[in-house]
């Protein structure tokens, strides 16, 4: 039975449930290495530290693959300030009532802990299946993997053919709370899914979740402007520039697709 918890914003209710692994996806696992003893990460959650070993995909500003680096390396401010750029994705999942599923990131997260954001945000990894650029299939596979990891949404509920790839944004941001260590510098693929799904929340990744309509999201944005809550920078950018227009056009998103341009918000 789902438990109700405060969403940390007035008039918001959230749902949480215990996370149980299902044998639907085999997770990519990484062995810890000497970098795991790095003093930079010694005070962080062990599970989140292990995930910093994941091999992300390095790209240039045209989103052309130029190499690979660990998630930790990609998020170090020193590397970001030297121009290291990696590929990412953001999923916006709507139910049959056209309500958007939001999450609050776990306090265990190393980057942007406790912040409110869209349904799921992460990175395709440097493996053949997730490097596949045809129809953004690699990014879609990564999104399917992370929706299961974070929210327990099994792949049979969200087959790859229902992901709609709309556009890409490039942005840069320092960690919140500011720590002088980490940040983001990404080319972010925006994916939309319309599906009623069952959730089984992984508390190491997600603190709480809630479906919102447009008015409720506007309330959250107003709360963020007054400093009552903090949104992730990518979510704030997408809300400000794109989301409400997409929301109004959910019945025909194809005409809103822009696969040619990368919208640059780094300046």
208 is catalytic: no
Are 165 and 139 spatial neighbours (Cβ–Cβ below 8 Å)?
yes
Out of 150, 184, 186, 205, the active site residue is: 186
Does residue 121 carry a catalytic annotation? Answer: yes
Catalytic position from the list 121, 130, 205, 208:
121
Report, as residue numbers or ranges, the catalytic residues: 121, 186
């Amino acid at each position: 039975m789902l438990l109700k918890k405060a969403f940390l914003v007035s008039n918001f209710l959230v749902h949480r449930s215990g996370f149980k692994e299902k044998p639907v996806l085999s997770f990519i696992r990484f062995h810890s290495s000497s970098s795991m003893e790095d003093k930079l990460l010694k005070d962080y959650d062990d599970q989140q530290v292990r995930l910093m070993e994941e091999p992300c995909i390095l790209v240039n500003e045209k989103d052309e693959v130029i190499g690979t680096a660990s998630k930790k390396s990609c998020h170090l401010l020193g590397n970001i300030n030297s121009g290291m750029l990696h590929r990412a994705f953001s999923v916006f999942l709507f139910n049959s009532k056209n309500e958007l599923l939001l999450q609050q990131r776990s306090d265990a997260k190393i980057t942007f802990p406790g912040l409110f954001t869209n349904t799921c945000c992460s990175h395709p990894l440097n493996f053949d299946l997730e490097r596949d650029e045809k129809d953004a299939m690699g990014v879609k596979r990564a999104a399917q993997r992370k929706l299961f990891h974070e929210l327990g949404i099994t792949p049979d509920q969200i087959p790859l053919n229902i992901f709609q790839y709309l556009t890409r944004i490039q942005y840069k941001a320092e960690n919140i709370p500011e720590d002088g260590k980490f940040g983001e510098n990404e080319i972010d693929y925006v994916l939309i899914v319309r599906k009623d799904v069952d959730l089984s929340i992984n508390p190491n990744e997600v603190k709480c979740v809630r479906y919102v309509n447009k008015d409720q999201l506007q309330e959250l944005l107003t709360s963020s402007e007054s400093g009552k809550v903090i949104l992730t920078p990518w979510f704030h950018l997408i809300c400000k520039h794109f989301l409400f227009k997409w929301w109004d056009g959910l019945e025909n998103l194809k005409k809103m697709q822009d696969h040619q341009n990368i919208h640059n918000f780094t300046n």
